Amino acid sequence: MTTLLKAETLSGSDWKRVRDIFKKGGIIAYPTETFYGLGVDPFNESAVKKLFQLKGRGFDKPISMLAKDKNMLLPVVEEIPPAAEKLIKKFWPGPLTIIFKAKKTVPSIITGSTGKIAVRISSNPIAQKLLENINSPITTTSANPSGKKSPVTAKEVMDYFKDKIDLILDGGALSGKLGSTIVDVTEGDLKIIREGEIAAKTVIDSLKKV
């Protein structure tokens, strides 16, 4: 049975329930600044496998993480290149996902065996509160079966998965039209992987400014 919690009425006992579900390997749906996402403990491989199976996603595909702040980023990335530092200062929190070299402690199922990890800091206050309460990065992948439309309401998430997820944090209707923009900084030069909410030109131009 899926638990649905309204974000505006969350209490201390509600957040305890959220933490317990996270620690036990449960799947949590939550709002971001783009769409609703699905989160599990990225260091719990059985939870990550369950998430892949729920979405019908191939195990060879990497999965992104949300971090609360830069301090939460440091334990999962090998380094923060100068280009990434500029992008972080300009666009985080916000819909920019940055691909870094992953620390060896990050499970290969998260990186898709690429040795890279994609991370962003969400500007959504509920996502931020979630990360503050679990005190850990969390996976972030759109809360839909692979190939289906990304959801902007908790009802759409429920319609997709019924009772197959443990918890939905209902943050109301979201305005996301595109996913986050994804960039790779692991090879020194910036590489645009996907153009999303932030225009590719805006990202590229931000690195040209002193």
What domains are there in the chain, each with its CATH number? Answer: 3-208 (3.90.870.10)
Tokens of 115: 């040795």
d(CA 44, CA 67): 16
Judged against a pLDDT cut of 90, whether residue 189 lies above it is answered with: no
| pLDDT-derived band at 13, boundaries 50, 70, 90 | very high
Mean pLDDT of the chain: 95
Please tell me the predicted confidence (pLDDT) of residue 176.
82
Please tell me the predicted confidence (pLDDT) of residue 131.
98
63-94 pLDDT, tens per residue?
Answer: 999 999 999 999 999 999 999 999 999 999 99
126 vs 52, 77, 191, CA distance in Å? Answer: 24, 24, 30
Helix (H) or strand (E) segment spanning residue 71: helix 70-73
SS3 59: coil
61 vs 75, 111, 191, CA distance in Å? Answer: 22, 8, 18
| pLDDT-derived band at 177, boundaries 50, 70, 90 | confident
Tokens of 23: 């620690």
107-151 pLDDT, tens per residue?
Answer: 999 999 999 999 999 999 999 999 999 999 999 999 999 999 999
| Token pair 């190939």: residue | 147
Judged against a pLDDT cut of 80, whether residue 210 lies above it is answered with: no
- Annotate 88-149 with DSSP letters as a single string: HHHH-SSSEEEEEEBPTTS-HHHHTTSSEEEEE----HHHHHHHHHHTS-EEEEESS-TTSP
Mean pLDDT of the 37-64 span: 96
Please tell me the predicted confidence (pLDDT) of residue 188.
80
Using the CB atoms, write b or e for 151-188: b if 16+ within 10 Å.
bbbbebbbebbeeebbbbbbbeebebeebbbbbbbbee
Judged against a pLDDT cut of 60, whether residue 95 lies above it is answered with: yes
Please tell me the predicted confidence (pLDDT) of residue 40.
98
Judged against a pLDDT cut of 90, whether residue 57 lies above it is answered with: yes
Long-range contact list for 45-51, CB < 8 A, 24+ apart? 45/107, 45/109, 48/107, 48/109, 48/110, 48/139, 49/109, 50/25, 51/27, 51/139, 51/141
Please tell me the predicted confidence (pLDDT) of residue 209.
67
d(CA 103, CA 147): 30
